[in-house]
Chains A and B, each alone.
Chain A
Amino acid sequence: MSLNSSLKIDKKILLENLEKTIQKYDLIALKKKGENYLYDYIQKSKEIIFKYHPTVLSPKKFFFPKEEVLFEYTADGEVTPKSETKPTILFGIRPCDVNGIHILNEAFAESKGDPNYLAKKENSLVIGLDCEKLCDENAFCYRVKSQNSTKGADLFLHDLGLEFALTIITDKGKKFAQEYLQSSPGSEQALTKYQAAKKKSFSLVAPFRDLDKLPEIFSKNQNHVIWKEKGSKCLSCGSCIMVCPTCYCFDVADEFALNLQKGERLRRWDACMLSSFAEVAGGENFRDKAENRLKHRLNRKFNYLMKKHGQAVCVGCGRCVRACLADINPKLIVKVLTGEQE
């Protein structure tokens, strides 16, 4: 654990301080809207929900929105890059999603770097919040070892009841904590006790067998019958991708304003599970079967991109399992490929 792990902050003070940040920052946290829980903008700190309830969408939507303008142009051909960002705090982000943010940070920073994503990221602060236990039966963070992920956050909190243990992850987080959080030295013991309890609650579950060898296992099983079996059920609706914290495929489209004097080039979420994703202009489709698309998506998570990122690119949040209308569960597919018993 970090040297800074023995900081603490009183819950009431934290809420007061968070509310103060709203003057300068957009504050985003888990809140309830109707019957649903979601990450959304907070006006009053009392709106924040501390007990985790799985959300449909991940916090990725704040860095990589479902639609954003890449640049604006005029009918005369004047092009202006556009990426307006506001200082933003993402509060209470759980380990799986913190890990998801870390993976997207890497993906968008790669090679030349994606200006729009990086600008949003640079202008924001991520405060993680630990999960003491599994959030529901669909989550499988422990399978990919992301239940303790802190990389991707700037600060990380552990709920100790009346107070939080605070861990500083980045310099940016440190600066923010000094300016806003009024933390004080806490007892190492309290955090150790929390972590022991968490470890115990996760002790009945285990990571995927041969987790580190998944790329190899996936490569060897490109013709496994599971792809046909599960792929034949897939409705190619793309829901799994919309809800995934680490899917970042996109489409690019132009839109002209009604007055035809100006327009925008937009990027929108796209989905490799949709049937037309790999189609080219002449009509040839390089991935025209649902089973191949399913195989492709899971190979991105556990093979192709896993090799690049050095960790599974599925964070085990369980959102795709909850969203899938055809009951396709990546956890079960991986277990079949590794030959693991339930």
Chain B
Amino acid sequence: MCKELKLKNKDENLYIPEKARIVEIKTFTEKEKFFKLELVSQKSLGHVPGQFVQLSILGIGEAPISISSPPSSDHFFDLCVRAVGNVTNKLHTLKVGDEIFIRGPFGHGFDDQILAKMQGKHLLFIAGGIGYVPLRSLINKVLKSPQKYQKISILYGCKTPKERMYQDELTKIKAMGSNIEFLETVDHADTDWTGNQGVITTLIPKVKFDPAKTIAVIVGPPIMYKFVLISLMEKDIPKKNIYMSLERRMKCGVGKCGHCQMDGVYVCQEGPVFNYEDVYQKEEVL
């Protein structure tokens, strides 16, 4: 009498995750680890910058995580994960070779249309803390062909020097020179810190840009957006030239579970990457 679900293969069932293997782990900070993963199927994840996956550990649960690597044709991808909940804390205990599960990629990221709009422009990346993680996917993509852009400025702010991630990579970016500039700051310096000190908005006046020819991309905690947006508005960057990526606790990733809904918008469908012009009048954005 019972009828099994009519599905030819698992791909048709949007809740069934696929296996991924951890191939490399780096410890960035006390709370953040880097994971290089491969899909066991050897398929490419097929994402665009700014998208996310649902990462699951069977028996623990599932959590939405931003993809940190640029799109690639091979089957590897990077995640950088802060241990804050059940799934992420468990993930931090895993080792190279261990298997986890992935669904996705989900969401609307920096698609071809946005990337085309960025060409020839001054790109101003503003990342706060772990906000660098989703932004890295886009930054590493544009750094593959920096000549396509007038200039690339990366502003990175952390609470303390110890919370800075991807330090080796950022050192290299700093040395790339020509049209690439990298500035960083910490809210609270320690005795070894000789760099900038102050919140991230203190870096904005240090960058010279023509507001009409600049595209800003911001990712960070809600409080950071508020102040950064004020600074950018003061500098007359048009709203349509500002992109942001929003954090929500998606449970399904496919516009059904309701958790990520912001005003009428499902962040997992229309976001997490939004143009500021499209969302500035919405109440529940930040």
Q: Chain B interface: which of A91-99, A113-121, A148-156, A319-327?
A: A113-121
Complex CA gap A111/B88 in Å reads 29
Task: Determine whether the beta carbon of A263 is less than 8 Å from that of B58.
Answer: yes
Complex CA gap A77/B17 in Å reads 11
Interface size on B, residues (CB 8 A): 48
Q: State which of B10, B15, B88, B259 has its C-beta within 8 Å of the C-beta of A265.
A: B15
Q: State which of A83, A115, A222, A265 has its C-beta within 8 Å of the C-beta of B12.
A: A115
Q: Chain A interface: which of B136-144, B205-213, B237-245, B248-256?
A: B248-256
Q: State which of B16, B58, B252, B264 has its C-beta within 8 Å of the C-beta of A77.
A: B58
Q: State which of B1, B251, B262 has its C-beta within 8 Å of the C-beta of A250.
A: B251
Task: Determine whether the beta carbon of B262 is less than 8 Å from that of A282.
Answer: no
B226 within 8 Å of A (CB atoms)? no
Complex CA gap A119/B12 in Å reads 13
Q: Chain A interface: which of B60-68, B114-122, B156-164, B176-184?
A: B60-68
Task: Determine whether the beta carbon of B15 is less than 8 Å from that of A70.
Answer: yes
Task: Determine whether the beta carbon of A114 is less than 8 Å from that of B248.
Answer: no
- Which residues of A from 67 to 103 have beta carbons under 8 Å from B? 70-71, 73, 75, 77, 79, 81-87
Task: Determine whether the beta carbon of A286 is less than 8 Å from that of B88.
Answer: no
Task: Determine whether the beta carbon of A286 is less than 8 Å from that of B248.
Answer: yes
Closest to B4 in A: A84
Scan B1-14; emit 1 where CB is below 8 A from any A CB, else 0: 11111110010111
Complex CA gap A206/B62 in Å reads 47
Complex CA gap A282/B16 in Å reads 26
Give min CB distance, B2 to chain A, whole Å. Answer: 5
B270 within 8 Å of A (CB atoms)? no
Q: Which residues on the B side are within 8 Å of A111 (C-beta)?
A: 254-255, 269
A280 within 8 Å of B (CB atoms)? yes
Q: State which of B2, B14, B61 has its C-beta within 8 Å of the C-beta of A85.
A: B2
Task: Determine whether the beta carbon of A280 is less than 8 Å from that of B247.
Answer: yes
Complex CA gap A81/B11 in Å reads 11
Task: Determine whether the beta carbon of B17 is less than 8 Å from that of A79.
Answer: yes
Q: State which of B6, B13, B252, B284 has its C-beta within 8 Å of the C-beta of A286.
A: B284
A-B contact pairs, 18 of them (CB 8 A): A79-B16, A81-B7, A84-B2, A112-B14, A119-B3, A248-B258, A252-B15, A252-B61, A252-B257, A253-B61, A263-B59, A265-B15, A280-B249, A284-B247, A286-B262, A296-B261, A299-B264, A304-B263
Closest 4 A/B residue pairs (Cβ): A249-B258, A304-B264, A83-B5, A256-B59
Given contacts A248-B258, A281-B63, 19 further A-B contacts (CB under 8 A): A79-B17, A81-B16, A108-B256, A112-B254, A114-B14, A115-B7, A115-B15, A116-B5, A116-B15, A250-B257, A250-B258, A252-B252, A256-B59, A265-B15, A272-B258, A281-B84, A281-B85, A299-B264, A300-B258
